[in-house]
Amino acid sequence: MELQTPTPPFFFRVDMLRPDQSMEQRSDGDRWLPPRPSGSNQIYLRGEWLRYSGQPGQNIQPSNLTPPSSPHHDQSANTMLYSKSYSMYYSHGTIWVLPYDASERQVSTGTQDGSTPPNSSVDLSNDEDGAQDWESLMFNNTKPWIEGISYVSEDGHYEQLIEQWPGQQGWLDRLLPDRYRTSPSVKHNRPRQGARRGGLCGELPVLIGLLALSVTPSTPQELTRTLRGCMQARGWREHGEAGSWVNRRGVIVHVRNDVNDPASTSQELDRFANGGYGNIFP
């Protein structure tokens, strides 16, 4: 099922992230974990602001505009700025997610072992985002619920896709490592029952981050070309690289609405993310 066009436009930027290699790395047994201390998550390649138009034939264009960086009330076209930033890493089959910019602040307590630093003046009791730690990618139902559709974010009830259709969804093995695909007992190899079942929606920065993590661009311009080919107005699609994840490589994805476009509201972007215009990845 194709997306209903036009979909809401928005600005976005992808920055390349890596851990500070000079500090002791964190692990959980034999599994690497992203760092927590302030300054330990470092941007090494800053991307360019782009505008996703939601219009066929004009999907992604460079933007000379600098979107506002923090939520504010707008009395004109929008009731509230849609402003989201997600940090993500790939490592050995796991995708780690954090719902804020890890390059600008500490994660959780800011210590590698999760303990509270002695004589710490940082109070996280009223900082809901700051108290959050790195989480593995999770899936949930859309809001409102659409049967058979997965909503991807850092918070969810399911560790794997709710439903999938191997052989009929090219993005499955290009976008998601094995651990996030459904187990063989619930895979569907028969014809899809319903055009929407098995589709993927979710937090827009996370969906863009999945595309960016699964390719290996050398420049922001190269990544832009890849994203332009994937983020089509009638439905986002897979890229041409297979198995291009790089251990401990990360991204930070920023998404902002266009306050000068009445179609780009927080409400409509949330509706888009939840499948209100159709499956983002069909």
List Cα–Cα distances, 5 to 171, 233, 277, in angstroms.
Answer: 21, 7, 8
For residue 210, give both structure tokens. Answer: 């999945």
Residue 220: in which H helix or E strand, if any?
helix 220-230
194 residue type, one letter: G
Q: CB–CB of 101/17 below 8 Å?
A: no
**Which pTM was predicted?**
0.88
Four-point Cα dihedral 157, 155, 214, 109, nearest 10: -140
Cα angle: 152, vertex 236, 258; to 5 degrees: 80
At 73 the pLDDT is: 40
102-160 pLDDT, tens digit per residue, is 999 999 887 877 666 544 444 444 445 557 999 999 999 999 999 889 999 999 999 99
Helices 204-213 and 220-230: angle between axes, nearest 10 degrees:
120
Share of the chain above pLDDT 70, in %: 82
Share of the chain above pLDDT 90, in %: 62
Q: CB–CB of 205/84 below 8 Å?
A: yes
Peptide bond into 37 cis (omega under 30): no
d(CA 159, CA 180): 6
pLDDT category of residue 25 using cuts at 50, 70 and 90: confident
57-86 pLDDT, tens digit per residue, is 888 998 876 665 544 444 444 445 889 999
Indicate if the pLDDT at residue 180 is higher than 90: yes
